[in-house]
Structures are given as C-alpha cells and as structure tokens.
Chains A and B, each alone.
Chain A
Amino acid sequence: MKGPQRYDVVVVGAGFAGSLVAKALGERGWRVLVLEAGAGTRDAWQDHQDAVRAFHTAVVKTPTAPYRTTAAAPSPDVLDLTGGRDGFQAHGYLLQRGALPYASPYLRVNGGSGNAWTGLALRMHPEDFRAGEFGHGRNWPIGYADLEPYYRLAEGEIGVAADVEEQRRAVGLPFPEDYVFPMHGLPRSYLDAVLAEAVDGNHARDPYQGQPTELSVVGTPQARNGPPNPAYDHGRGYRPDGHRCAGYASCVPICPEQAKYTPMKTQARWPATVTLRTRAVVNRLRATSTGRISEICYQLYRDDTGGEHTSHTVEADMVVLAAHAIENAKLLLVSGLATRSDQVGRNLMDHPALLTWGLTREPIGPYRGPGSTSGIEGFRFGPARRRRAPFRVEIGNWGWNWALGPPDRDVADLLRQNVFGKRLRQVLADRIGRRFMLQFEIEQEADPANRVTLAPDHRDRLGNPRPALHYRLSDHVKRGMVAAKQVSDQLFALLDAEDHTEYRPVASMPGYLEFEGQSFCYWGAGHGGGTHIMGGSPHDSVVNQWQQCWDHPNLYAVGCGSMPSLGTSNPSLTMAALALRSAEHLDRELLATRTCVTVAKEALR
C-alpha cells in the first residue's frame, strides 16, 4: 500500500512569507511542497494578463477585484462592511463580533495579498521592538539589531529603492556604515515637493507631546524598480527584476508592468526542489502525543464556484504556516494546537488609518506615480507614545481614492444635479486636479481581547468553520487619532489647503466612531498581525523568536501573525526579514534531524 507523500517541508500558503521560506529552503536542497488555498498557476504571465483585464473591467475597483477568487477559499473584501447610524454591518466571509469592525481585506490566491500590496518597504524603528516599555502592548524577544542583517537580505530579495542617508538622518535607523539600498530612492511626487516647500522646517504640535515636532517630508523606501545603485553589495551592484516603475498609478491592486515586487517574482526564482499545489486548502494538522506534527490534511477542489473536493494528506519533517495572520490562527484553532499560552488568535492588530483629504490651491496632478512616495516620520517615536499611539503620516498621491473612491462618483453626483456640458467638464477638472490625501497609520497595540475565534455554526463551502473576529480600538489608539487629526489641521494650514475631511456614520464609513465628543473614522490598512504572537516564554506567547511553535518543534507559524507590535511602518518588509531569518533556523533544524538519523543508522550497523 502506498502511504502519504512525504516532503522535507510543507509550507501552507504561497504568499509573501511562504514564497520566501520555500525559496530559501529549496535553494538549500530541501524538498518543499507549497499548498496554496487559492487559485492560480505557474503560468504567471497569463494569470497576470487576466488580472489586469479583470481590473480594467471591474465596476468597483477594490483591492481584490483583479484576482480570481473562489468559493472554496473565500477572501474578505472591503465591500463586506457597511456603516450606518446604528453601527456597522458585516456581510462577507469574516464574521464580526466586536464593537468595531476589523476593516482589512486579504487575498486567498496564489501570491496572496502580496499581489495587491502597496509596495512600501519600511523598516520598523528600533523603538518599535520595545513597545511594551512605553506601557502599551508588548516587547519583542529580539531587537532591531537581531533583525538588521535580515532586513538587508529582504531588501535584496524583494528589491528596495531608498536613500540610506535619508533613512539614517530622518528616521534614525541604524545601518552598517557601508550599506546602500539595492536601488536609488525613487523621485518624490510633485505633491510631495509642494508639501515639503510648505512644511519643511516648520513645527506641529500634538496635545500629548511636550515639544512640538519638527516637520520634514521624507522619501519612503519602495519595493518597486528604480535605477540600481552600483555601490550595492560592496560594489557588485544590483540587477533589478523587471522594468523600472513607469507610473501606472495602480500599484494597489495591480502593477501592469510588474515593476512592483510581488511574491510571484520569488516564485519565478524557486528551484526545482519546490513544488506548488494550488486550490489546496489545508484544513487540519495532526500531532503525535509528543507534539510533533505528523500529518497535514488538505482538500483539493477544481470548480471556482462550488465546494466539491477530494481529501488528501501529506507528511513532512517541518511544517510552516504562512497563510495570513487570521488563516494561520484559524488553522491552529481548528487543529487544537499550540494551546499552552491561550494566546492563539489573540492580540489581533491592524493599522487603523485615519484619512484626511482636501484641495490644494493649484493643481497638483493626482493619480500619478506610486500611491505614496513620501511621508512625515516625526510622530513615529519618542516619549509621546506613552500617552497616545504613535503614527506615521503617509502622503497620498491618488486623490481621494482611498477614502471616497475614484472620480466616478463625482460624475454621478454632478449628473444627478443636472450638470452637463462644458460646466461638467470644468467642475470636474477643478475638483479632481487639486485633490490630495494624508494617511495617518496609527499603531494598534497587542490586546488579548482582540481575537480570532472559530464559528462552528458558520462553515464555508468546504465545510470548514469560518473565522469570527472580536475587534476594538483602545483609548490609546483613539488618542493617536486625536493627535493625528490635530497634526493634519496644522499641515493643511501650512499648505493653505481647503480641508474637505468629514467623518459620518454612512454606509461607506463602517469605521466611524466618536471619541471625546469628536467624530473619527478609520480605514483598514491590510496589516493584520499578532494572532500567533512571538515571545520569550511558552506561557504567554505562541511562537519563539524563530517563529517556531513552543508546543510543536516541527511547526512554524510565520508572517505578521508573529509580530508582538506593528510599530507604524507597513509590516511586509519586517515579515520578509523574519521569514528569511526563520528559514535559516529551519535549515539548521532539518540538518540536525538528518545528522541524528545518519548517526543512528551508523550505530545500527
């Protein structure tokens, strides 16, 4: 009788972290099977062309619009949530049981949410690893210095364009003395330049800071192709993977010319030792009495719209969960694993983004270039984070798109008011040509009450329980919103811009809330984390510093779910650095088991 297939490593999820781990282990000669729940093929070019076409023809261009999602592996979508006077309502895959909605989508498709990510590749600030010391959230068991070499590895692997001097000076990041990024920093947008002219050298006050903060518009590291830096890698230079960014202005949800990094680029570099199986939904892991994972159970489906499937099992020496923070937690919960700390599924975090929008005096040319090319960094660190959550100011190049949608809506509104002809043309030109947005990404601290649980009464098409989310924002986060809005007001004043920001309990603002008599609304940044939190002890954390489950030595849970704090930077680069660090650990562990086997065999002779 033929037993189940056996691999050195099974990776669950072919997204950002899973694709990197698979490549790193495949290159070291290990046989890796990657099981991806969503659809997609290795014919990346055809899939890409289909996705671009789907984006162009979607009436509502959500982050998930280009991608071929399936009923068997449903993905949450931004359209699943609506707001209103009586609070928010949720309609989609995620069941929402909290006071506030968890407002971020993710993608179950080959390449994962990394297809649709914005491509901002910031490092965390050294202080972010010690968030707990400021009285809110948790410390990491490792620090910036431990992760620094892996940040460099990740920047090479995904291809980051940035100015190292500027990152040193304006963000305060330590780098090795001779380090440069693979590519030179991308040009900043015209909007960045206009804003810099107005605010650089000025100060803004926030009610929780003793001293006003000096303002400076700083270039943002980007995982999209620019001119390579010949000084990279001690003068060996860097060869970008693909074309230079030509300014398609659609990085989210899809870069038509593939100048932005996606996990598909890493998959293209996979050696033959890595096998991908898509439409393969892992639904349970089985462990032996000693805690070792002995079997990975998965369901294979063919049809995009139905739930018909066949069941399979596979064995591996090492299992790596890389299926997104919420899906990783779901799988651990379903399998009853890693229960010792009672932290699986808890500490769910995101970056609640406060958006503010307005009109500049003169046209600034919105909807050009990457979504954001610069930010203001001064509110990310410092003692004020004891009193309010820190935040990063991202300068938005795409009009009011994120908050209010594309200009389609303006056209419909004006037509309803019977505005036609030349006047229609003029009003639109004037309104849209001067639009800009500021995006305040606020740190949300680890809170064990924010959690993913299972909803056994609500099953998906394959019969697997759907995730139920319990989500809220602390007063610490809300004070971050108060500070962010006040900073926004001062930036608008310096820019002499017309503020059109308005938060209302309407369908398009499910994240509406009131705090200390003020109205706010947050949007989900898509940065889910914390659900298999990393720590220094098996009693209060799920994984150790290697993202290895304390309770299961051959099980790793990788991705943002391991992060004890998110800081204020977009987390993908940190996730990538952690994944590459874990891959080295996995390699050492695999080598150790092989050495033991060899020694044992020798002894039996």
Chain B
Amino acid sequence: MQDVSVVDEFVRVSSRLTGFDPGELQATGMAEGYHDLVVAEVAERRYRRLVVTVLEADGDPPAVDDPHLLDLARAVTHLWYVGVWPGLPQSAEAYVASPRSYAQGLVWKTFHGAPPGTVAPGFGSWARPPRRAMPT
C-alpha cells in the first residue's frame, strides 16, 4: 500500500507548479500514478531536492533556479498538463503516461474544454456559449 503522505507531498509540489489546487489535482485521479512515474523516472536525490526547493520557496510561481531542477519541474508540470512524460534527459523518448492521463490533461481544464475523443458532452452541446474561463 502506498504511503499516502508521499503522494500528498507530490500533490502539494505539483499544485505550486501547475497553479491547480491540491483538490483539483486529486480529482483527476492521476496523483498516485504520476507520483510513481516520477520517482521511477528520476533519481531519488533529485526528486527530493525539487520537493524541498518548491515547498520552501515563497511566491507564485515558486522560484526554481538550479537548471537541473528546472528541467524536472518542467517535466512534472508537462506531465500534469498534457499527460505526456517528456524525454528526461532530453534525448529520452516522450510517452503518454496512459489513456487516462491524456483524458485528464490540465491544459484542457484551463479553458473548461476536454481533450478530443475523451468526453461526450452531448448532441448540440457545441452550440452553447462556453463556460467562462477560471476567475482571475
């Protein structure tokens, strides 16, 4: 059984990076899977350094200056936003984490959209005005 606190910590880091609340991230159902993917893809020390840096940093977005950590921060954010783990190092091949990760990509949620081919909003739904984007 997965240690819940480890996933929670990953979600808090991800929330700072993505601009989505921990609750919104949990609601995607992807948190545990993404946590496991990230710890499998990168060295433990590097991941711990990202966690500490992001959680200790003030402001939005959190300041991440180390280029090595910045690459990891980008990769984690990219994973949440489009469901794709980018090549890390950049020579490695990018891949879609799972069919669900594509369906839960945050980029679509920014404008209350859905990724093509994943949601059936109903006949004629496209005629309605869109829901307003997130309040600023």
From A422, which residue of chain B is reached at the shortest CB distance? Answer: B19
B93 to chain A, nearest CB (A): 8
From B65, which residue of chain A is reached at the shortest CB distance? Answer: A418
B89, CB-defined interface residue at 8 Å: no
Residues in A neighbouring B102, C-beta threshold 8 A: 56-57
B28, CB-defined interface residue at 8 Å: no
The segment out of B32-40, B41-49, B127-135 that lies at the interface is B127-135
Fill in one digit per residue for A376-403: 1 if any B CB lies within 8 Å of its CB, else 0: 0000000000000000000001100000
Q: Whole-angstrom distance between the alpha carbons of A356 and B66 in the complex?
A: 40
Q: Are B60 and A56 in contact (CB under 8 A)?
A: no
Q: Are A411 and B107 in contact (CB under 8 A)?
A: yes
Fill in one digit per residue for B14-40: 1 if any A CB lies within 8 Å of its CB, else 0: 001111100000000000000000000
Main secondary structure of the interface of B (DSSP, over half): loop
From A373, which residue of chain B is reached at the shortest CB distance? Answer: B126
A260 to chain B, nearest CB (A): 12
Q: Are B17 and A421 in contact (CB under 8 A)?
A: yes
B12, CB-defined interface residue at 8 Å: no
Q: Whole-angstrom distance between the alpha carbons of A167 and B116 in the complex?
A: 29
Q: Whole-angstrom distance between the alpha carbons of A406 and B105 in the complex?
A: 12
B66 to chain A, nearest CB (A): 12
> Assuming the A-B contacts A244-B123, A249-B116, A424-B19, are A365 and B129 also in contact, with contact meaning beta carbons closer than 8 angstroms in the complex?
yes
Q: Are A368 and B121 in contact (CB under 8 A)?
A: yes
Q: Whole-angstrom distance between the alpha carbons of A245 and B123 in the complex?
A: 6
B120, CB-defined interface residue at 8 Å: yes
Q: Which residues, 42 to 90 on B, are CB-close (under 8 Å) to A?
A: 60-62, 64, 70, 73-74, 77-78, 81-82, 84, 86
Q: Whole-angstrom distance between the alpha carbons of A350 and B107 in the complex?
A: 34
Residues in A neighbouring B78, C-beta threshold 8 A: 411-412, 415
Interface residues on A, range: 35 or more
Interface residues on B, range: 35 or more
Q: Which residues, 92 to 136 on B, are CB-close (under 8 Å) to A?
A: 94-96, 98-99, 102-103, 106-108, 110-134, 136
Q: Whole-angstrom distance between the alpha carbons of A50 and B9 in the complex?
A: 36
Q: Are A188 and B127 in contact (CB under 8 A)?
A: yes
Q: Which residues, 345 to 364 on A, are CB-close (under 8 Å) to B?
A: 363-364
Q: Which residues, 218 to 269 on A, are CB-close (under 8 Å) to B?
A: 226, 244-250, 254, 256-257
Q: Are B113 and A57 in contact (CB under 8 A)?
A: no
Q: Whole-angstrom distance between the alpha carbons of A397 and B125 in the complex?
A: 13
Q: Are B114 and A187 in contact (CB under 8 A)?
A: no
Residues in A neighbouring B119, C-beta threshold 8 A: 248
Q: Are A433 and B125 in contact (CB under 8 A)?
A: no
Residues in A neighbouring B133, C-beta threshold 8 A: 363, 429-430, 433
Residue picked from B73, B116, B132, most chain A C-beta under 10 Å: B116
* A247 touches which of B16, B103, B125 (Cβ 8 Å): B125
Residues in B neighbouring A420, C-beta threshold 8 A: 16-19, 61-62, 64, 73, 77
* A363 touches which of B82, B115, B124, B130 (Cβ 8 Å): B130
Q: Whole-angstrom distance between the alpha carbons of A53 and B62 in the complex?
A: 36
* A432 touches which of B20, B107, B131 (Cβ 8 Å): B107
Q: Are A52 and B113 in contact (CB under 8 A)?
A: no
B84 to chain A, nearest CB (A): 6
* B60 touches which of A186, A246, A369, A422 (Cβ 8 Å): A422
A596, CB-defined interface residue at 8 Å: no
Q: Are A424 and B127 in contact (CB under 8 A)?
A: no
Residues in B neighbouring A502, C-beta threshold 8 A: none
Q: Whole-angstrom distance between the alpha carbons of A398 and B111 in the complex?
A: 13
Q: Whole-angstrom distance between the alpha carbons of A186 and B102 in the complex?
A: 28
> Assuming the A-B contacts A418-B70, A424-B18, A424-B61, are A246 and B96 also in contact, with contact meaning beta carbons closer than 8 angstroms in the complex?
no
Residues in B neighbouring A545, C-beta threshold 8 A: none
Q: Whole-angstrom distance between the alpha carbons of A432 and B70 in the complex?
A: 25
A426, CB-defined interface residue at 8 Å: yes
Q: Whole-angstrom distance between the alpha carbons of A189 and B121 in the complex?
A: 13
B113 to chain A, nearest CB (A): 5
Q: Are A397 and B110 in contact (CB under 8 A)?
A: no
Residues in A neighbouring B127, C-beta threshold 8 A: 187-190, 193, 369
A58, CB-defined interface residue at 8 Å: yes
* A226 touches which of B64, B123, B131 (Cβ 8 Å): B123
From B86, which residue of chain A is reached at the shortest CB distance? Answer: A412
A55, CB-defined interface residue at 8 Å: yes
Q: Are A56 and B126 in contact (CB under 8 A)?
A: no
> Assuming the A-B contacts A59-B96, A408-B84, are A248 and B126 also in contact, with contact meaning beta carbons closer than 8 angstroms in the complex?
no
Residues in A neighbouring B130, C-beta threshold 8 A: 190, 363-365, 368, 433
Q: Whole-angstrom distance between the alpha carbons of A421 and B20 in the complex?
A: 7
> Assuming the A-B contacts A56-B99, A247-B123, A247-B125, are A411 and B82 also in contact, with contact meaning beta carbons closer than 8 angstroms in the complex?
yes
Residues in A neighbouring B20, C-beta threshold 8 A: 425
Q: Are A256 and B111 in contact (CB under 8 A)?
A: no
By a beta-carbon cutoff of 8 Å, the part of chain B in contact with chain A is 16-20, 60-62, 64, 70, 73-74, 77-78, 81-82, 84, 86, 94-96, 98-99, 102-103, 106-108, 110-134, 136
**12 pairs from A and B in contact (CB 8 Å cutoff):** A248-B119, A249-B116, A363-B132, A365-B111, A365-B129, A368-B130, A407-B108, A411-B81, A420-B73, A424-B61, A428-B111, A433-B111
Apart from A57-B102, A426-B19, A429-B110, 11 more pairs, CB < 8 Å = A56-B99, A58-B96, A61-B116, A363-B133, A367-B114, A368-B113, A415-B77, A423-B60, A425-B106, A429-B134, A432-B113
